[in-house]
Amino acid sequence: MTLPENSPRLLSALNPVLAYSLGTGMLLLGLYCFLRPRQEYRRFGLPLEHAQPDTKTRRHSPLIFLKGTRETTYGLALILLQYQGNVNAVTTMAAVISLAGLADGLVVWLNGGQELRHKTFGHWFASVVLGCWAAWRAHQGWENPEERQWPEGPIHIWST
């Protein structure tokens, strides 16, 4: 691999490493929901909800698997859209995920109880960071329309 003639823009909002990292992180969070659903309730900020309160075996509610499915599909979509070089779609997905974080924080605030309410701020912080990243990407795309196109090849580490 040869380095591009122009200096790489590693701090560019359109740098694909950020999208791939976020997508991979979301895939891992989604898998964690399936592998350790009981622990995911507490990590997320909700009290453990049982599927059927009157049974002898205390199973967790299957709703946590919906969260896992959402995280996994969002992560997979980010990775695939970035792989295709669809800059505008990655920016839109980042904005949508930011709104999901805002809603998650609201759900935790209203239903997590006093003990887990502090987890709300993690959701809202992530929402603000993702929203700012999406806005930065959108601004860079509007400012430099030629940056919307990636160099040839499916995986682009360097943006020029």
Most confident of 11-15, 43-47, 59-63, 95-99: 95-99
Residue 9, in any domain of the structure: no
Residue 82, in any domain of the structure: yes
Alpha helices in 45-150 (DSSP H): 63-83, 87-111, 113-116, 119-143
For the chain, the domain total comes to 1
Q: Distance (Å, rounded) from C-alpha 51 to C-alpha 34?
A: 15
Residue 105, in any domain of the structure: yes
Q: Which pLDDT does position 62 carry in this prediction? A: 80
75-129 tens-digit pLDDT:
999 999 999 988 889 999 999 999 999 999 999 999 888 888 898 999 999 999 9
Residue 158, in any domain of the structure: no
Residue 7, in any domain of the structure: no
Q: Which residues pair with 50 in a beta bridge?
A: 60
pTM for this model (two decimals): 0.74
Please state, rounded to an integer, the average pLDDT across all residues of the chain. Answer: 81
Residue 53, in any domain of the structure: no
Residue 157, in any domain of the structure: no
Residue 129, in any domain of the structure: yes
The encoded tokens of residue 126 equal 């992530």
- Print the domain residue range for 34: 16-44+59-147
